[in-house]
Structure formats: C-alpha cells, structure tokens
Chain A
C-alpha cells in the first residue's frame, strides 16, 4: 500500500516537473530579431534561396519540415514558435477559425503585384488577410498509355474500368479520394450532403477490385517503376514522377477536380514578424519565384515568374490548365470537425473493406 502511494505521488511529481519544464523551455526560445523560424513541407524550397535570403538580409533561417497539414497543426497548436508556415488552403480556413494566424500587412509585401489575379481573393481567405499563394495544382489521373491502350481517362469513371484490376493507386487522403468520386457523379467535392456521400461511398466500394493500394509518397516510387498502371495523384507529385518516367501522362478529367493551394502564412506564435514579411516578399520576387518553380517543379501562381518559364512548361495544359478547365476546378473548403471526421471514417471503412 505504501509502495502504491509512493508510486502515484512520484508519478504526479515527475509529470508535473515535465509539464512545467517544457513550458519554461518554450518561453525561453530566442526572440532575437535576426533569426527566422520557417516551417514548410519537405523538399518544397530551393535550399540555395534560403542561403540567398540570409545573405541579402542577414537573417539566419532555422528551417523545419512537416509531411502533412495535420502534423503541422499539432505543433502550431502547441504554440511552438514559427515565424512563417506553409499551410494548404483548407488548413488556412481552420487556422483562421482557431485564431492561429496573424494578419499579413500588404504594405510590407510590395511583390504581391507579381501574383496572378486569378489566385488572389479565393474562398478560403477572401481578402488574403492571412495567406498568400505559394504553389498550386490539381488532382488528376496519372497513367501509362502503353499499358492502358485505348483508354484516355478523360472521365473519372475510367478508373473503374474492369481492365484495371489491382492496378490503381489512390492517395491516402479522405478529401482527395472521396473528392474525385463525388466529382465523378457531378457533385461538389465539398459536399456535406449525406445522400451524395452515401452514393459516393457505394461507388467507391465498387472500385475495390481495382485498388492496388492507398498510400502517399509510395505512389511516386511505384509509378516510376511502372509497378501500377494508374494513379490518382496531385499534379506536383505527377510532375516529379514524370520527370523520371517519361512514358506517363497526367490528365484532368472533364468533370472537374480539386484545385489546391499551398500558401505562405504567419502563425500567431511568430516572434520575428518583420522578418516573416521580408521572407514572404523575398519568395514573391520574380527571379526568386522563377528559380524556386524550377527547383520545386510545381505550378507557380507568380505571373511575373510564369512569363519567364520555358515554353514547354508554360504550355503544358495538364499543369497550367486553360480558362475553361479552370472553371471546373474546386478549392477545398474546411468542412468542420464533424464532417471531416465523417470523411475520414468513410475512407477508413473503405480501407478496411479492401482485401
């Protein structure tokens, strides 16, 4: 009995010490103005540009990466200090609601003028008060024409084709996967209509035999090796894959698809707000954006940089779609916790039903 009490008491003591300690550590993190803490996706910036920024401004950059919005949010919510962060569009909405972002002062960002107007004032941040676009893209179908002879994948339904038995890779993301199913039925991929979602669920289940796997980065290595014939991927990942495997084609089905944005934002835990603005402005510079686009390989919202791109790249309709196609593209809205959970559970159930 004595021992038990000692155990519990020491547990509480130690637990308390740890909590207190980490709080302390957090607060004593440097608030110097010549350091900038940047939190970005992996492989999402040309490292040379970071060096260049430090040379030009004298600000030292502490660079950290994450691999999912959710993982990033966990850190942000813990008030870990970051000065610049790169959330996706629907996450921006969420962060706004939770007061996790600081407003951007447009006066400090003269290079805003370089951004293509089409990509400003979007639904998730109408006045660009909290975010500015960084890279954008779509979700589409990546396929090997040689092994899928005769198919053109101009419609989402082609993914359900019987000939693709165990040959289709899907993204491990509820929005992406359920989204395209909704699109295939002509519904919005932001649907919160139970009927539409049920219909999508059933249609998704019919896809089971074709599903080779539901994964993330693994899609890249598999498609590079032609391990599967078809994959539903982000345009950015498609670009990366096609660079190594020139046989593949990326296309956007006619029903429309998701238009995604990764943005630059300033989290509320930022300490070097001036430096943050400088960094964002730096990235929007024409030449910097051009070099970055070359390195990262995704589609840039920077009009000034776009003009300087190679003709080949500029004209790639699958990566820079024409106006008509653009109109059919939808941006993800934050669905709120209940519907987000609903989507996620749906995907989990779908995974469980596969064998």
Chain B
C-alpha cells in the first residue's frame, strides 16, 4: 500500500526531474548542428566561462555572507521577543509576494527619482545612481533571501535548551561568551541550512541581474538564458546547466548537516 501512495510523487520526480536532467546531459554533448561533440565542455573550461563561474561564485558568496550577517542577529533577537510568531510572520510575508513584483518595487525605490533619492534630495545631499549597479544587485538579492536564512537559523536557536544558556552563565560566561561558545555552535545546523537555501539559488539569478544590475553582472543563470534564448545554442546552454548542477551538488555536500545524508 505504501508503494502505491508514493507513485504520484515518483512519477512527478521522473517526469519533471530525472528525465529533464538526462535530457540536459544529452544535449550538452551536442553542437549547434546536432552532432555529438565535446566542444561545449572544452569551451566551458576556457578562461571566459571559468571567469564567469568564479564571478558567479563570488557574487553568490557575497550575497550569502551579507544575508547571514543580517539574518543571524535578526533571528537571535526574534527568539528573545515575546510575540515570536508575529515577528516571524512579518519577515515571511514578503516571500508570499512574487519575486518579480518585489524587484520592480525596488526599481521604484532605487531609481534616480525614487524614494531613496528623494530623501537624499530633501536633506540637500546629492542624488546617487543606485539602479543598475553592484550595490543594487546585492541589496535586492539580500532582501529576497533574508527570510530564507532567518527561518532555519531561528528554528535552530529556538530549539536550544534554555537551561544550556543558564548553565553557561552559571559557569561564569558573559552574555557574549554564552553567544559565541554555546548559542552559535548549537545553531550551526540552521546556519548551514540557510547557506544552502541562499547560495545555490544565488548562483543562477538571472532576472535580477537583468532588471537590477543591467546585465552587468553575469551569473551562470544569465549565461544559460543567453545560450538558450538568444544564441539558440541548446548544447552550450545545457553544458552550463550541467556545471550548475554539479556546483549545486558540491555546495550541498559541503554544507550538509548531521541529520542529512546525501
């Protein structure tokens, strides 16, 4: 009976995950005329694509780190407040709104005539060109990822036995030492989860890089979009896709938590 219940899920996995992945791997060995070739892989390993990969990793890394720096204290604070659920809801609600809408909203905020610049103007300061910049890209990305980082960290911190903190005070630890020696080590699982949820998608952001960074930031996602839609080079696009999957698996392995086993 259990087997039968799992059938819809299995079917789904097969049709929408396993088959497409195989298809993609197959295509990655095709050139534009449909012949089998290793050319795509050779090209990916060329300096330009490697540069882009490193670039992608760098941006994803930056975004993840900044998101972590913002999210950890936030999660810590919320775990000490009275109405935790309420504050968590405030953090989560933006995720209910479509990512594209949020991005457009940011264009309104960061634009030369947008809210931020209007405030600057009011204070007699010079307006800044915020849109289509690295700053804009990272800011919007961080904003989008914060809820995904806050939740697992919060759960981790919240799950720590309160007595452990008392015990650390009892043994002479200051509030800061309690944080660094007890809370942080015990919340690492949550941090790892958060990093996974942030870093991996950040590698493939392409709408964001177009709308907010003016395509000046080229991620692996951008390259895939370009190859498939503009160049019609499904082979190369698939190759980049294959590498993206490899990187994702790599990141998942590195950040796997004790409870999972990949």
Interface residues, chain A, CB within 8 Å of chain B?
Answer: 7, 10-11, 14-15, 18, 68, 70-71, 73-74, 166, 169, 172-174, 211-216, 218, 221-222, 225-228, 337, 340-341, 344-345, 348-349, 351-352, 354-355
Chain A minimum-CB-distance residue to B18:
A11
Task: Report B129-173 CB contacts with A as 1/0, cut-off 8 Å.
Answer: 101101000000000000000000000000000000000000000
Q: A70 to B15, Cβ gap below 8 A? A: no
Chain B interface, >50% SS class: helix
Partner-binding segment picked from B107-115, B185-193, B251-259:
B107-115
Bound complex: CA of A226 vs CA of B132, how far in Å?
Answer: 13
Bound complex: CA of A225 vs CA of B131, how far in Å?
Answer: 12
Given contact pairs A7-B14, A11-B15, A166-B129, a sample of 15 additional A-B residue pairs in the complex whose CB atoms are under 8 Å apart:
A15-B15, A15-B19, A169-B214, A212-B132, A214-B214, A214-B215, A215-B211, A215-B214, A218-B214, A226-B112, A227-B113, A227-B132, A348-B218, A349-B48, A355-B216
At the interface, yes or no: B118 with Cβ under 8 Å from chain A?
A: no
Q: B14 to A341, Cβ gap below 8 A? A: no
Chain B minimum-CB-distance residue to A14:
B15
Q: A211 to B11, Cβ gap below 8 A? A: no
Please name 29 pairs of A and B residues whose Cβ atoms are closer than 8 Å in the assembled complex, sorted by A. Answer: A7-B10, A7-B14, A10-B10, A10-B14, A11-B14, A11-B22, A68-B229, A71-B229, A212-B214, A213-B132, A214-B214, A214-B215, A214-B216, A215-B210, A215-B215, A218-B214, A221-B107, A225-B112, A227-B111, A227-B112, A341-B32, A344-B230, A345-B231, A348-B218, A348-B226, A351-B215, A351-B216, A352-B51, A352-B55
At the interface, yes or no: B232 with Cβ under 8 Å from chain A?
A: yes
Q: B132 to A174, Cβ gap below 8 A? A: no
At the interface, yes or no: B213 with Cβ under 8 Å from chain A?
A: yes
At the interface, yes or no: B52 with Cβ under 8 Å from chain A?
A: yes
Contacts of A7 in B (CB 8 A): 10, 14, 18
**A168 to B: closest C-beta gap in Å:** 11
Bound complex: CA of A216 vs CA of B215, how far in Å?
Answer: 10
Bound complex: CA of A225 vs CA of B112, how far in Å?
Answer: 8
B interface, size bucket: 35 or more
Contacts of B112 in A (CB 8 A): 225-227
Q: A352 to B229, Cβ gap below 8 A? A: no
Contacts of A226 in B (CB 8 A): 112-113
Q: B52 to A352, Cβ gap below 8 A? A: yes
Contacts of B210 in A (CB 8 A): 172, 215-216, 218
**B25 to A: closest C-beta gap in Å:** 14
Q: B213 to A213, Cβ gap below 8 A? A: yes
Q: B231 to A340, Cβ gap below 8 A? A: yes
Bound complex: CA of A341 vs CA of B10, how far in Å?
Answer: 39
Interface residues, chain B, CB within 8 Å of chain A?
Answer: 10-11, 14-15, 18-19, 22, 32-33, 48, 51-52, 55, 107, 111-113, 129, 131-132, 134, 210-211, 213-216, 218, 222-223, 226, 229-233
Q: B218 to A351, Cβ gap below 8 A? A: yes
Contacts of A228 in B (CB 8 A): 132
Contacts of A351 in B (CB 8 A): 215-216, 218, 222
Chain B minimum-CB-distance residue to A227:
B112
Bound complex: CA of A7 vs CA of B210, how far in Å?
Answer: 39
Bound complex: CA of A102 vs CA of B61, how far in Å?
Answer: 52
**B208 to A: closest C-beta gap in Å:** 12
Bound complex: CA of A214 vs CA of B226, how far in Å?
Answer: 13
Partner of B215, one of A10, A14, A213, A340: A213
Contacts of A74 in B (CB 8 A): 232
Contacts of A15 in B (CB 8 A): 15, 19
Contacts of A71 in B (CB 8 A): 229
Bound complex: CA of A244 vs CA of B259, how far in Å?
Answer: 58
Contacts of A68 in B (CB 8 A): 229-230
Partner of B216, one of A174, A213, A227, A348: A213
Query: Contacts A351-B215, A352-B218, A354-B216 hold; do A14 and B11 have CB atoms under 8 A apart?
Result: yes
Chain B minimum-CB-distance residue to A338:
B32
Q: A70 to B19, Cβ gap below 8 A? A: no
Query: Contacts A225-B111, A227-B131 hold; do A337 and B32 have CB atoms under 8 A apart?
Result: yes
**A289 to B: closest C-beta gap in Å:** 31
Partner of A70, one of B10, B134, B232: B232
**A219 to B: closest C-beta gap in Å:** 10
Bound complex: CA of A227 vs CA of B111, how far in Å?
Answer: 7
Q: A174 to B14, Cβ gap below 8 A? A: no
Chain B minimum-CB-distance residue to A167:
B129
Query: Contacts A213-B214, A225-B112, A355-B134 hold; do A18 and B15 have CB atoms under 8 A apart?
Result: yes
Chain B minimum-CB-distance residue to A10:
B14
**B111 to A: closest C-beta gap in Å:** 6
Contacts of A70 in B (CB 8 A): 229-232
Contacts of B132 in A (CB 8 A): 212-213, 222, 227-228
Contacts of B223 in A (CB 8 A): 348
Contacts of A213 in B (CB 8 A): 132, 213-216
Going nearest first, the 10 A-B pairs with the smallest beta carbon separation are A213-B214, A213-B132, A354-B216, A344-B231, A214-B215, A352-B218, A11-B14, A227-B112, A351-B218, A352-B52
Chain A minimum-CB-distance residue to B216:
A354
Contacts of A173 in B (CB 8 A): 230
Chain A minimum-CB-distance residue to B214:
A213
Q: B48 to A352, Cβ gap below 8 A? A: yes
**A341 to B: closest C-beta gap in Å:** 6
Bound complex: CA of A68 vs CA of B48, how far in Å?
Answer: 26
